[in-house]
Amino acid sequence: MKTLFSRILLAQVVAVVLALAVVTLITRYSLTQGFTTFLERQETRVLDNIAPVLGDLYSRQGGWDRLRANPEIWQRIWWRSNRADVTGPRGPGPGSIRQLEGGPRAPGTDLEPEFRWLAQPGRGMLRERLFLLDAARVPLAGADPGATVEAQLKAIMVEGDVIGWIGFSPLDQALPPEAQRFLGGQLKITALALTAGLAVAAVLAWILARNVSRPVQSIGTAVRRLSDGDFAARADSRFAGEIGDLAERVNQLAATLKKNRTARQRWMADIAHELRTPVAVMKGEIEAVADGIREPDRRTIASLAEEADYLASLVDDLQALALADAGALDLRKAPVNLDELVNQALGAFANRLEQRGVRVRSRIAANVVVMADAQRLRQLIHNLLENSARYVEPGGRLDVSLTLGKTVVLRLEDSGPGVSDDQLARLFDRFYRVEGSRSRTTGGSGLGLSICRNIVEAHGGSIEAGHSPLGGLSIRVELPNGGLHR
């Protein structure tokens, strides 16, 4: 199977080769077409210069009859031109095309400037393609006009009348030798430039493929180790851009997995510890009764019932947390008067708080209706008040408020004892107790606030803990208004 490095390198090289091939074809076509256009414009200028000379010949000879009867006159022009001194003066000299009427003269003295330019050795293809037609477009001399269109013909005028036509036969696919040499040189230079470009592109593609594949390989190695259960694996996140971000996210995932495994292990140990205590008590009571050490009286039965109730409550809490983690916490939402639930819960806890000497002050807004599961909200409020009843010092104070705005806010603030910032961060962890003991007398199971957080989040709200202005703990619960208030 091909590696990522080889795939990227091959893709880059293929892309560059295709791009260079397209550039080569376009360059060749552009040079050929451009040179052909240049030649056509050059031919037009040549025809513009030659036409008046031939018109002058027509006027002196009184027509084309002599040229028609003596085609060698046309050839004599090029025969003399091949021996002409093309480096001589450009302007008309004492010898001119008039001398063609009287026969051969000294070479180099009988050409008009236009013919002298056309007579140069490099203009052979132009001479071979030049033709002359009479007024009726009947060929008189020169090359075969072929399929020359009227736009490619130049009229020869004498006193306003068209007495003939001159032009060049179609170029077709052939180019003059000088044009072919020029194009060949340009294409060679282009080929060398493209070869050099391909070499540079290959080097750059190799560097790019290496730089891209290396971090991907590092990420792949880290992910493979994570899948094997090695949560200490980390990817190299020193790379810039999206790959560096991906590596950083993989590392965050590894840290989260490691943290979750540790939390799961700790949770399982906590569950085992919490279940072991009531089971051990119940087992000891039952063995004592079976051995006859204790009588199966009402006090023994009440003790067993208390441990069974605690065990059942713990199992219910664990089930609620498991459902919340799986996203399957059963919520039956309906309009609920939250103020009534809060007042009912305060009434249920009034005796316990009064026995501890905790003074309660409540500010509950009326007719606070939310879309929620009434049973879960009742469980939320009871867990919060249970936490206060356990931890607020005797003779302390508890303020409970319920306000209505864009959201519904329930706040519980007590007078202490307070908690540190580090403890605030862990307050909603499962089985966490502020005093650090395992005593169920004061600490409970340590699941109450965790269940509160899951209930609130399942309703689309938030819960947070902070320092109370009274000196203790402040719990703030925010729930969506739900659009039930105007």
- What pLDDT, in 10s, does the model give residues 40-82? 777 788 888 888 888 888 888 888 888 888 877 777 665 544 4
**pLDDT at residue 411, as a whole number:** 95
**pLDDT at residue 435, as a whole number:** 54
**pLDDT at residue 430, as a whole number:** 67
**Domain architecture of the chain: domains with CATH:** 4-177 (no CATH), 241-325 (1.10.287.130), 334-480 (3.30.565.10)
Number of other residues whose CB lies within 10 A of the CB of residue 23: 14
Cis peptide, bond prior to residue 94, ω within 30 of zero:
no
Return per-residue pLDDT of the chain as tens, 486 residues.
Answer: 466 667 777 777 777 778 777 877 887 777 777 777 777 777 788 888 888 888 888 888 888 888 888 877 777 665 544 444 333 333 333 334 444 444 444 333 344 555 655 555 555 566 777 888 888 888 888 888 876 666 678 898 988 889 999 888 776 555 666 667 777 787 788 778 878 877 887 787 777 777 777 777 778 888 888 888 887 888 777 766 777 788 888 888 888 888 777 767 766 776 776 677 678 778 888 888 888 887 888 888 887 887 787 777 667 767 666 666 656 566 788 999 999 999 999 998 898 899 889 999 999 999 999 999 888 898 889 889 988 888 888 999 999 999 998 899 999 999 978 888 878 877 877 666 665 433 444 455 567 788 888 889 888 999 999 999 998 899 999 999 865 554
Buried b / exposed e along 180-211 (16+ C-beta atoms within 10 A): eeebeeeeeebeeebeeeeeebeeebeeebee
**pLDDT at residue 222, as a whole number:** 83
Distant-in-sequence contacts of 415-420, Cβ < 8 A, 24+ apart: 415/468, 415/470, 415/471, 415/472, 416/392, 416/468, 416/470, 416/471, 416/472, 416/473, 417/391, 417/393, 417/472, 418/467, 418/468, 418/471, 418/472, 418/473, 419/465, 419/467, 419/473
d(CA 123, CA 129): 10
**pLDDT at residue 485, as a whole number:** 54
Q: Is the full-model pTM beyond 0.85?
A: no
Identity of the amino acid at 268:
M
